Every structure is written in C-alpha cells, then in structure tokens.
C-alpha cells in the first residue's frame, strides 16, 4: 500500500506567495517546473514546492534570511 499524498490548500499557497513577493529581503522569485525559487538578498536560495512539509522548511528559511517578524512567519506558514 502506497503512501497517500497530503493535500495543500491553495489559500495557504497564496498567503505564502503574497508575503514572500512583498518581502524586501527576497530579491527574486522564479517559477520552475516543480514550484518556485526564492532568492534572498544575502545570496541564499530556497526551492519552494507546495507540499505538506514545505511550510516547515520555509519557516526556517524565512527566519534565517529575512527580517519578517516571528508572528507573521507563523501566520503565513501555518497549515
């Protein structure tokens, strides 16, 4: 029996994209085949592929490479 894929909500994805695009520390957002690449101004790159585990990894990236507040990061990446 195979593992079922966890669904993701499009509203969460829209919140994430809107916040990341508006963030001053994200210099570029590039569409790739599996999702999006986020380029921060300090040179870090994050490959965002909307899955069930993506918000946890994105939370870590945003904490390390942006000046977004903790409350906003939690609000955006909550599933």
Domain that holds residue 38: 28-77
61 inside domain: yes
Rounded to 5°, angle at Cα 28 from 22 and 34: 105
- Least Cα distance to 77 among 66, 57, 65, 25 occurs for 57
Average pLDDT score over the chain: 85
pLDDT at 48 exceeding the cut of 80: yes
What's the pTM? Answer: 0.79
63 inside domain: yes
69 inside domain: yes
pLDDT at 56 exceeding the cut of 50: yes
Using one digit for the tens of pLDDT, what is the confidence trace for 11-29?
A: 778 888 999 999 999 999 9
22 inside domain: no
The domain tally of the chain equals: 1
Is the separation of the CB atoms in 39 and 27 below 8 Å? yes
Residues 6+ apart with CB under 8 A from 76: 15, 16, 19, 62
40 inside domain: yes
* Alpha-helix residue ranges (DSSP H) falling in 1-79: 10-22, 54-65, 70-77
6 inside domain: no
51 inside domain: yes
């Amino acid at each position: 029996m195979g593992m079922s894929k966890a669904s993701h909500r499009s509203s969460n994805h829209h919140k994430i994209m809107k916040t990341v695009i508006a963030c001053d520390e994200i210099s570029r957002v590039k569409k790739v085949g599996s999702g999006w690449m986020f380029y921060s101004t300090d040179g870090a790159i994050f490959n965002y592929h909307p899955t069930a585990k993506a918000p946890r990894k994105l939370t870590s990236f945003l904490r390390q490479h942006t000046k977004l507040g903790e409350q906003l990061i939690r609000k955006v990446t909550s599933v």
